[in-house]
Amino acid sequence: MEQLKGRIGYVWGIGGVALVLVDALLRLTPIAVDAFSQPLSWVQWSFLLGWLGFMGFVEGYRGFHLSFSPRVLVRARYLRQNPRWLDVALAPLFCSSLFRTTRRRLIASWGMVAGIVSVVLLVRTLAQPWRGLVDLGVVAGLSAGLASMAVWLVRERLGHTIPFSPELGELDGEREKSEARGLSQAPTP
């Protein structure tokens, strides 16, 4: 029963996070495409090219590939090995580090959620084509994020260690302290 509960948490955690990203992509893509229903000025084209590069690097590579995606998978793996009913039921939130994590990660994760909501509300006030151009950059970042999750998932399923901590709070903090003292060099689960 524990093994089944762990597998459900693993799949629901990763799948739920991916579904949130896909939902955002499906909602934003038509708005982004609509930006091209009128001719764009050179200023708008310049903004778009710079914005795509910025969002691809900052959101896609640094945000997703180097931080969020591997952490989601490490926390999903932890959930598979240590299933608790609440964690399994709320697996997408658990895997997104929105609860049962270190204080620092909790503040960072909820701060990111608040920041995203604020930016979404602000961008909704923009007129086309600017709103579409901004959303196109977000679509690029989210697409890179989904691709990154797929890459990390394949690596994890092939047996490669993901060099991230699940950041579980005090228990995890004790492990990190002992590793810092050189008492344990075992990879983090």
Q: Is residue 48 part of a domain?
A: yes
Q: At residue 170, does pLDDT exceed 80?
A: no
Residue position matching structure tokens 């990763």? 14
When divided into structural domains, the chain yields a total of: 1
| Amino acid 164: pLDDT | 87
Determine the structural domain holding residue 116 and report its residue range.
Answer: 2-180
Q: Is residue 156 part of a domain?
A: yes
Q: Is residue 92 part of a domain?
A: yes
Task: Give the helix/strand (H/E) hosting 27.
Answer: helix 2-34
| Amino acid 121: pLDDT | 94
Q: Which of 16-20, 22-26, 90-94, 183-187 has the lowest mean pLDDT?
A: 183-187
Q: Is residue 186 part of a domain?
A: no
The CB-based long-range contact list for 96-99 (8 Å cut-off, 24+ gap) reads 96/17, 96/68, 96/72, 97/71, 97/167
Q: How many residues does the chain have?
A: 189
Q: Is residue 140 part of a domain?
A: yes
pLDDT digits (tens, 9 = 90+) for 72-128: 999 999 999 999 999 999 999 999 999 999 999 999 999 999 999 999 999 999 999
The answer to whether 135 and 56 have CB atoms below 8 angstroms apart is no
Tokens of 110: 């909820």
Q: Is residue 155 part of a domain?
A: yes
Q: Is residue 36 part of a domain?
A: yes
